[in-house]
Copies of this chain bind each other. A is one copy, B any other.
Amino acid sequence: MKRILVATSIIVVLFVVFIPQAGAQMDPLLSWNDGPAKQRIFRFVEKVTKENGPDYVPPAECIAVFDSDGTLWPERPLPTELYFVIQRLRQLAPKHPQWRKNPPFKVLFEKNPKALMTLSKQNIEKLMLAAYAGMTQEDFRHEVQNWMATWQHPQLKVGVRGLYYEPMHELLEYLRGNGFKTFIVTGGSSDFVRALSEPLYGVPIDQVVGTEIGLRYKLTGGKSFVVRDPKVTSFENGPLKPVNIERHIGRRPLIAVGNGKSDIETLAYASDRHGMSLCMVISHDDASREFEYRADEVLKPAQERSWLVVSIKRDWKLIFPK
């Protein structure tokens, strides 16, 4: 009896004492190649989380913001949300015969995908509002979830759940494991990204900050709803991203990650934080495994201000989840 008790107790002690260390020895960024990018991330997180260290940052200030399209998942040939918009508009089209003649709607009925890639911001906004307005928040979420269940990326031939960047998923988890609060700050619409932020990225929906459609409180049959109106109240891009970071998050990020021109102001806002910060730019330079396109506008300030440029080709062992 005594022996069993001793043995059991020792097992419990070993369990309590050693499990945390065993966890710490695993590489949290397994899909990243060893090299300067990975090392710089580790060094930064160690510094800001080392209590009593010179660069320690209190947990409440450990805020990390991530752009979505091109940062957490591909944005080529089109941002994923546009595929949803197109499908939704095609569903609605029979009720709107005038769409076949009028731009920008007639683009939906052409067989030329390039026409969709060259739409202006104003025209994208028009399409989005036609697809998104006139329903309750609940119905909209339901529509997105239905679409997600079957949609496949036209070139990569995977669904939403196979489309995100595995190295970014690991980075999000690694940061949260070190006490960071992770946010998605996107030019996409909040409500679309929220439909997938929890299952895909472990980011709670209230930590998604994006483009907002007009919303209105409405009573229908004595029951309260919030319904969607056809106007954009906050198109999240460029200089509006730091503004919406202040509105939703309320402080400068400690870590900011982006990949394009529309992330420059967000990266600068983190970079100008009093004390340390880590700004990362994802460089799409891997034509064989993903897409190759330059973003010189953001690479220039990245070089000038020593932001970390992550080369997909060089720094990512794996791009998509296996």
Of A30-38, A93-101, A198-206, the one contacting chain B is A198-206
Q: Which residues of B contact A265 (CB under 8 A)?
A: 217, 224
Q: Which residues of B contact A247 (CB under 8 A)?
A: 190, 212, 215
A: interface residue count bin? 35 or more
Q: Are A215 and B246 in contact (CB under 8 A)?
A: yes
User: Could you tell me the distance between the alpha carbons of A245 and B212 in the complex, rounded to whole angstroms?
Assistant: 13
Q: Are B226 and A243 in contact (CB under 8 A)?
A: yes
Q: Is A176 an interface residue (CB 8 A)?
A: no
Of A9-17, A21-29, A111-119, A125-133, the one contacting chain B is A9-17
Q: Is A284 an interface residue (CB 8 A)?
A: no
User: Could you tell me the distance between the alpha carbons of A153 and B92 in the complex, rounded to whole angstroms?
Assistant: 58
Give the interface of A toward B (CB within 8 A).
2, 5-6, 8-10, 12-13, 16, 60, 63, 137, 181, 183, 190-191, 194, 198, 204-208, 212, 215-217, 223-226, 239-240, 242-243, 245-251, 265, 268-269, 271-272
A-B pairs, 7 with minimum CB distance: A9-B9, A217-B239, A205-B250, A224-B268, A215-B243, A206-B249, A226-B246
